[in-house]
Structure 1
């Protein structure tokens, strides 16, 4: 899609309604910059109302690399084994994973379709604002944005907590007399957070290179572990068959909760959902990706499909080799994955696998930090946060949102104080990541399916006639899972402050606060995505006429210059009423 040019006296220009992007700009708007001819990606972003502020140095492959690193199958699985195995046992890990992936893949495909139509860092937040019924756009953006931000800002702390627990568990394996303390876990996790923040402040090109290496290692480590565990297990030397019989693996539901088996299996989906929640990263990196309205949605679907397939292989390997689920969950090592490995592998192999997992986890945490900073930048650009003018600044040296990186680091360190509240308290970080992410993922999808009708204009990557059915399945899956993710593992007299599921407090509390904030104050000043690109208006016959530029300048003189000298006016794409009509 080359930039449009005009050398004739007819001054005809392409409008927002001419090509497939769903935008906040009215149908007759034309983004305009008298000093710059828009590239194809800049045209699409300008049609969404934003000027380009990043270098487009991510490709389909490097975007997929960041996304796959954020997915982090090996460290994600290791960090959430307590839930996946502990709630439903091996049945939840085998056929339970397949059932969960049906809903998750539908969410990913529906999200990819939105990304192709609206490839901006604001991602889901922008889509909710544009697609919501008249009058509801700002509120939909507000709720989606804050829920997504909670998922993003807690991702790196939860990943890094899992890494720290594995490092200290390895130390305990080497020296059985050593027992890690909460204070040591906290300090090590904060140190890793600081390292990630330093790396995330680097220029975009360096970030792409680092994450490409990290993602490649992540994938290689995953393959090595999938091969190493079944080939290197020493179960026979312990008087056990090499693998547990299939009838037991697929048919036995571990009584890890006080609820019926079907509910226990659904509760075990928290491990699948949290593990598979990183495929939205390409959406948030769209403003740094070349050919974003095709490459970014492809990266979303590719990440979910590849992650779901290889994640299931890893689940099968562990399900067939675990010896005692109860001992795995209650081990003094304090890390179920390390305890599981000690049951079926030689000590040297255990340490090797933990080392691979820790390195892969470091790469995952790095990707989480990058994605979170882009979300924070995008929302601060629209004044969502107190002090937004600081968090939306792009560093002049690195060309990246450094302030947003360190803001997220500070919030993440505060979240890590939950470590001192015990295992269930810090476990809420994982539940938040699952529930907050999927609420944000599905809100614009739900709006798209049930309220938009023909107002949605698909981009070049779309689902065609399967769009609505897939969106319905995605919405139904999340509506079912949101309350399930808030269930405690026990009920009745056993339910107390130590055994309750704190997700409803740690996620529900902040969301209740921002909802009250909306009613009391935010509805008066927050209007959703704020257009920041200069634009003109088309007359009834397509001629450029004087209009007001969003940045506060007048376009009268510019319009005359365009008429007299044939200035290039970038063509735009999409159709949607202005936010004032939302």
Structure 2
């Protein structure tokens, strides 16, 4: 950042130096965002300092941004979809104190991400941050890896959530009609139908999307609280000759031997459920260009989403851990949905239907939130030319002022991914593992770069961690470094390890990422230079700057500068 007093006039008439902006500006030499026909608002000024022009209406507030991210988090449907991992790998111990351990690492990641968001509130999010913070010469590669990993996490979000919702819908039908057994093609068709509905819902104007997600988040919170109260209040365990709740010694002290690994590793492997459940808190980062007061409201939404989700999620884990009757029976029930099978163990049929209905509706809103967040990521990356035919996916619809093309690009790819349903439970389960590992790689790459290479030279935004920043960043980086190989471990070992019991995350995530790296080496490194600056700005070499956008040369004479469109960001 240049030290010269380069200033612009904001909409309020005040003068502000670009160097004084509470963001990590990337304009060359501390350059000035410039538009002779437009007065910048505070949010436009911040985005301009990051090198982008405003293309969306800023109709998201702190609450509506939090609503989208909490809907994407979708605690109740996320828990229902991943109960197989949390309970099946380590039993109730993994659900109680295991959740608390995992949340220390996850909240560290979320807090560090929020700090980055305050400094760089743009739709590109983590990908932009990785490029801006990387050591000289490494920015494009850091952005390339972060961007593609984040996109894989985003594009698998809606399909995996909607698959879980569809499975619950058909499981409810099976519970009420024991003669019916859901078939894979039926789950596929129901999931595709939900995907198409969500595609239509995500294509409407921003104001409508904000209202829909506000309603969806409110319902998610309501459903979560109702379920947390309803299960312990309505459990019929005593009718089965059991105590109303299991003893604390059993709940906290018994590690279920569900996989062929030592207990400690089993606990760590059960974190896949926690990680996937808690993976939606990055959404405010990607919505920051549509949020008012973005460099404060968006990071607050990130932090609140993770903290609120972690707290309520743990309460839900405790409820299930203290009431589950038979873990084996829940995991191996013919209806094929452990959450639904668990409910039939502890509640009367009428209550089972009520809880499933609440979970299904919450899952529907969650899938819609995932599709919105993914479309903003795709738009941001296409804006910088990352995808084939990027010019089509980066278009903003002139009627809705939303990235409709990006919505349907993701939708089609998501539907193709759903063909994994026909490969069986472990194959489709790779979507959940991908969501965890891909998101973690993307989340932590810029955090690690900031912690290890930038240090005190990082320019924080108005929401920051202060002196705790390097400590929290180190905890986040260490947690992710530990969890990435754990997320790739299979549930069986030795002679029991077969193609049917293999963890396919290495292939389904590693394959595309390997292809992306080959693409980088063969071609992309020659033309991809990181996020592109798309706002008009002026390049000043010497002298002061007047408020009408003209440079004053060394002799005190005013001269018109030429507008320059920078093709790329210089890390």
| TM-score normalized by the length of structure 1 | 0.93
Question: Residues of 1 paired with 2:386 and 2:286: CA distance?
Answer: 16
> Partner of 1:210: helix, strand, or coil?
helix
> Partner of 1:413: helix, strand, or coil?
helix
2:500 is aligned to 498
Question: Residues of 2 paired with 1:59 and 1:546: CA distance?
Answer: 33
> Partner of 2:32: helix, strand, or coil?
strand
1:93-112 alignment, distance < 5 Å:
93-112=95-114
- Among candidates 173, 179, 182, match of residue 175 of structure 2: 173
1:279 is aligned to 281
- Residue 536 of structure 1 pairs with residue 538 of structure 2: yes
Is the Cα–Cα contact under 8 Å of residues 25 and 578 in structure 1 kept in the other structure?
Answer: no
- Residue 4 of structure 1 pairs with residue 6 of structure 2: no
1:250 is aligned to 252
Give deviations 1:175-209, integer Å, cap 9, x for gaps: 10001100000000000000000000000000000
> Measured at CA, do residues 5 and 94 of structure 1 come closer, stay the same or move farther in structure 2, by a change above 3 Å?
closer
2:158 is aligned to 156
1:278-357 alignment, distance < 5 Å:
278-357=280-359
2:3 is aligned to none
1:181-580 alignment, distance < 5 Å:
181-543=183-545
Question: Residues of 1 paired with 2:257 and 2:284: CA distance?
Answer: 38
Give deviations 1:409-445, integer Å, cap 9, x for gaps: 0000011000000000000000000000011000000
> Measured at CA, do residues 563 and 198 of structure 1 come closer, stay the same or move farther in structure 2, by a change above 3 Å?
farther
> Measured at CA, do residues 546 and 220 of structure 1 come closer, stay the same or move farther in structure 2, by a change above 3 Å?
closer
> Where does structure 1 lack aligned partners over 5 or more consecutive residues?
548-554, 570-576
Question: Residues of 1 paired with 2:457 and 2:382: CA distance?
Answer: 27
Is the Cα–Cα contact under 8 Å of residues 15 and 29 in structure 1 kept in the other structure?
Answer: no
> Measured at CA, do residues 416 and 289 of structure 1 come closer, stay the same or move farther in structure 2, by a change above 3 Å?
same
Question: Residues of 2 paired with 1:580 and 1:205: CA distance?
Answer: 31
1:79 is aligned to 81
1:550 is aligned to none
> Partner of 1:507: helix, strand, or coil?
helix
Question: Residues of 1 paired with 2:9 and 2:441: CA distance?
Answer: 39
Question: Residues of 2 paired with 1:579 and 1:112: CA distance?
Answer: 25
Is the Cα–Cα contact under 8 Å of residues 87 and 254 in structure 1 kept in the other structure?
Answer: yes
Question: Residues of 2 paired with 1:259 and 1:390: CA distance?
Answer: 48
Question: Residues of 1 paired with 2:567 and 2:49: CA distance?
Answer: 12
How far does residue 296 in structure 1 lie from its aligned partner after superposition?
0.2
> Partner of 1:106: helix, strand, or coil?
helix
> Partner of 2:539: helix, strand, or coil?
strand
> Where does structure 2 lack aligned partners over 5 or more consecutive residues?
1-6
Question: Residues of 2 paired with 1:578 and 1:435: CA distance?
Answer: 32
How far does residue 564 in structure 1 lie from its aligned partner after superposition?
9.2
> Partner of 1:27: helix, strand, or coil?
helix
> Partner of 1:20: helix, strand, or coil?
coil
Is the Cα–Cα contact under 8 Å of residues 193 and 409 in structure 1 kept in the other structure?
Answer: yes
Question: Residues of 2 paired with 1:467 and 1:309: CA distance?
Answer: 22
Is the Cα–Cα contact under 8 Å of residues 90 and 263 in structure 2 kept in the other structure?
Answer: yes
> Partner of 1:37: helix, strand, or coil?
coil
How far does residue 581 in structure 1 lie from its aligned partner after superposition?
5.2
2:115 is aligned to 113
Question: Residues of 1 paired with 2:10 and 2:323: CA distance?
Answer: 65
Is the Cα–Cα contact under 8 Å of residues 24 and 460 in structure 2 kept in the other structure?
Answer: yes
Question: Residues of 2 paired with 1:460 and 1:546: CA distance?
Answer: 29
> Partner of 1:33: helix, strand, or coil?
coil
How far does residue 537 in structure 1 lie from its aligned partner after superposition?
2.8
1:572 is aligned to none
Is the Cα–Cα contact under 8 Å of residues 16 and 25 in structure 1 kept in the other structure?
Answer: no
Question: Residues of 1 paired with 2:251 and 2:431: CA distance?
Answer: 29
1:35-50 alignment, distance < 5 Å:
35-50=37-52
1:134 is aligned to 136
Pairwise CA RMSD: 2.3
> Partner of 2:463: helix, strand, or coil?
coil
Is the Cα–Cα contact under 8 Å of residues 91 and 252 in structure 1 kept in the other structure?
Answer: yes
Give deviations 1:17-65, integer Å, cap 9, x for gaps: 2322112212330011111100000000000000000000000000000
Is the Cα–Cα contact under 8 Å of residues 15 and 27 in structure 1 kept in the other structure?
Answer: no
Give deviations 1:384-407, integer Å, cap 9, x for gaps: 000000000000000000000000
Question: Residues of 2 paired with 1:168 and 1:13: CA distance?
Answer: 61
How far does residue 563 in structure 1 lie from its aligned partner after superposition?
6.2
> Measured at CA, do residues 333 and 580 of structure 1 come closer, stay the same or move farther in structure 2, by a change above 3 Å?
closer
How far does residue 14 in structure 1 lie from its aligned partner after superposition?
4.6
How far does residue 329 in structure 1 lie from its aligned partner after superposition?
0.3
Is the Cα–Cα contact under 8 Å of residues 160 and 361 in structure 1 kept in the other structure?
Answer: yes
Is the Cα–Cα contact under 8 Å of residues 544 and 551 in structure 2 kept in the other structure?
Answer: no
> Partner of 1:209: helix, strand, or coil?
helix
- Residue 68 of structure 1 pairs with residue 73 of structure 2: no
Is the Cα–Cα contact under 8 Å of residues 14 and 30 in structure 1 kept in the other structure?
Answer: no
Give deviations 1:514-537, integer Å, cap 9, x for gaps: 000000000001010100000013
> Partner of 1:21: helix, strand, or coil?
coil
